[in-house]
Structure 1
Amino acid sequence: MKHVLLVENAWVAGLCVAASLLAQLFVFSPAALPVLPAGLGIALGIAVARGPRVAMGVLIGALAGSAIVASNQPQGASGRGLPAALLFGAAIAVASVVCGALLRSRGPASRLLFHVRGVIALTLVGGVLYPTLLTAVLAAESSIGGLGLSLLPASLTSFWIAASGAAMVVAPLVLAAPQLRGAPRRPWEMAACATTLVAACVWAFGPSGPSWLGHAPVHVLVPVLLWAAIRFGTRGTVVAVAAMAVAALATTALRLEPDAGDAAMRRLHLAIVVLSGAFLLLAATLHEREEARKAIERERAELEGRVADRSAALEAERTLSERVIEATGVMLFVLDRQGRIVRVNEASTSLTGYAEEDLLGRPYASLRPDRESGASAARFAKLLRGERASAGDAHLLRKDGSWLEASFSSAPVRGADGSVGGVLITAIDVTARNDTRRRLEEAVSILRTTLDATADGILVVDRERRIVAWNRRFLELWGIGSELLEDRDDESAIASIVGRVKHRSDFMERVRWLERHIDAESDEEIELDDGRIFERYSRPHLLAGEVVGRVSSFRDITSRRRAEQERDRLLVEEGEARRAAEAAYAQVRDAIRFRDEFLASASQAMVPPIDAMEGVLARIERLAPEESAAKVLPLMDQALLQLAQVHGVVDELLRLPEETQPVH
């Protein structure tokens, strides 16, 4: 960036130096000042176009140009006037930057020549203030011999006019230079205009021209400059003025003697300044006029386009309105001030069953039942007085004699003057809706009755924790009034029942968890301080597959829990009794086994002696004499009887273990 700025300032300085060298080719006496100090105009133009960023380049170029002017003085004066010339160059740079800043404050430099105010500012600042500042500095230096010569007032005037001409000719050319790039419009016409202008200058200011009559015949150039201003605008005018100045000054300088023609050159410079300012102003005026015309044309085109668009939109809206009126399911009746129907739509005919010609001209009151005619007439009268629209429910007579339930809205129809010219009635067939509403009300009533009849307490809340519904059993279980729930605030309801809960922190933690997990189901028991136990079952409330709230049911399971506890107690006691019985049974079984073993062993031990006794007794019976038989036999019979009894007892004992086996 610094390199670019350095190159730009160097280019500006070189351009100013080159202009100063070129201007020194044409000087006039007695002060040896340039005919048209182009360097001054270039310095001002660049300061306006580029701003303070090129101040250094302008300063260097002005210093170098002043040095060239000092070196062009008479022999022996250049050495004495060089410091003052450099000081004058610094003054040129300062004046250029200051005047450039003033002109830049009027707006963008690229648009300065295209507006009347910009051209006036350029004329005042560049054509008056700028040369005045430089002439004042030059006069001050001349008064102290700064340039090695004493300038006469006429010479200062000549310099002022020449500097003004440079500002009004060269500075605009610098400002317009970026916009002169590319091929010009109508190049052949532009070439013809330039040729004509140069030829007019050569003829007017040449040796055989009328300038020898003692005045500058600039009026000859006016038609050509008008041609350039009208046909080519500001750009063409800038080029034409520059070409005119160069041609006129060059032609005049070539034919004048070095020591003569000072007054003629002043008049020519002054004429160039006046022509430049006048035609730049004319070109700016024409440009603004053309811009205004184009702006008006654009606005007119835009306005016409908007009007056309609005007209098309209105027509489309009208067409759409007609289609909507005809296609909508809303009945439309337009009544005149006498209450006669003057317009209907398709819905009016299809829903009532009448043809359009049957309805047009018919009193609207004939479609209403007698019980509603009074209220209908009163509303109609209010609407004719301009009162606000009204709405309500009504019945309309169908052609088949049945009644159509309708929801209507009526409003006055006003004309362009604001007066009420009729009434517009729109009605919607709500027969099916009312039937549906009645069925819904019946279903809601059944649902409400069912909820109130259930043993569970029901509470429904939405996602914003507003209470949606509840039943009477919920109020009974928690012992709260319905006015608490009518506020629809779930937090208030929770605050009123949490004091009855035994484990409050667990209860609130569960409530908050369910609020965070809206799609979760929950089934838990809640113990109350009074000993009751509630079972709460909570699940999300779904609508079209989306969670819209939560439904919670509460059931008093205190009796069931107590019955279950009593059952558990009895089961425990029964188990203990069973275990005790089983232990006693085991002891009895062991005793029986011991008895059986004892009896079995005893029986086995008694059988052999008994058998032996039986054998002995039998033997005695055989061996006993006859005479003792009468005595012995009774004893033996008695012994055998007792032995049989003993044997029977033994047999009984032997059978006893089999009969007394424990049953499992």
Structure 2
Amino acid sequence: MNTVAGDGSGSPVPLREERDLATLLEEFPEIVLVLSASGAVRWGNHRAEEVFGVALADAVGTSVLDFVHHDDLELVHRSFESVQRKEVGNPIEVRVRVRGQWRLIELIGRPVGLVEDGAILFALRDLTQRRRFEVAHDDVARFRALVHNVDAIIVLATREGIVRSVSGSLTRRLGHDPEDLEGVSLGAIVADEDRALFDEAVAATATATDRAPVVRSLRLVDRAGGVAGTYELSLVNVGDDPVLEGLVVTAHDVSSREAAEQRLHDALDELHATLSLLHATLESTADGLIVVDRDRRVVSHNQRFVTMWQIAPSLVEAPYGDLLAAVLERVNDPDAFRALTEELYAHPSLESDDLVALRDGRTLRCLSRPQRVDDAIVGRVWSFSDVTAQ
């Protein structure tokens, strides 16, 4: 005799055959599924057919993973693996698509090797309505749902950094089974190269005042042991809280930010090298060169320009009017040279090629062209060469 069942009279009677057990399981009010190790349906009860709207004959062989929210797939995979080492697994909550809608489902499983190697018996319960009621009427439940779904990884640890609980984001991002991490140092998911920095950060929380966060950028590893990216960890000592009594650790993925910062650093290095080359080129030419922007500010020049015009070096840093006044003092026809500069600045796209006679007897060839960035005129380049002997 395996168990008992009622006969309607109130007196228990022996179950006659194993098929009676199957009948009870078939009529069980919760969803019952038997899955392969890879998540393929092997059997389901009548309640499963009702909820999912799929006949058992059509469901056998299909993967339940097709119905699981992509953010919860890692958690389900880890549950499939960890339950094989237990008599009964721990319950988990995941989002499952049921008749076109996402539902919050609690599932708990146990291995049933008598069906096939790796097979798992799962009992599923729809928590959606209950959670909605809790969230609507309970601030704690609302906050719990927020923590579970937030993108940042949140960890509650002891003062020594031993994991006590983690948010669902850790599994979604790094693939670790929360059960495998509980009771283990959080440093276990930190890359070996950054482990000392993590230990130093944990130690630093002991002396942090007013719950000041200890922030470090560390590389975290995924379940396979590979570096998953750089995360900014913020460790806050809440040891004075009688409930939490430990560390609250939040981790944000900053890999993209670091990559952008590196690209900016590389671009600045390249720009510095380009400017250095440009400066060397300007200084190596025999011509006097000066570049003036649209607002008549000097943005670049070479030493040859200062020497050729015999002006004080500080004038190229002075207002444009002061520089122009010094130049006009050195030409034979200051009015003509002033008119030339005003004409060119009034019409930025014009080019000029003129000879300028200086009071000291020298003659300079003056070339002026617009400076362009792509198709936009951003300034004007002046080039002066001494052609006195020609």
The two structures share one fold, judged by TM-score above 0.5: no
If you compute each CA radius of gyration, which structure gives the higher value, 1 or 2?
Answer: 1
User: What is the TM-score with the length of structure 2 in the denominator?
Assistant: 0.43
Higher helix proportion (structure 1 or 2): 1
User: What is the TM-score with the length of structure 1 in the denominator?
Assistant: 0.27
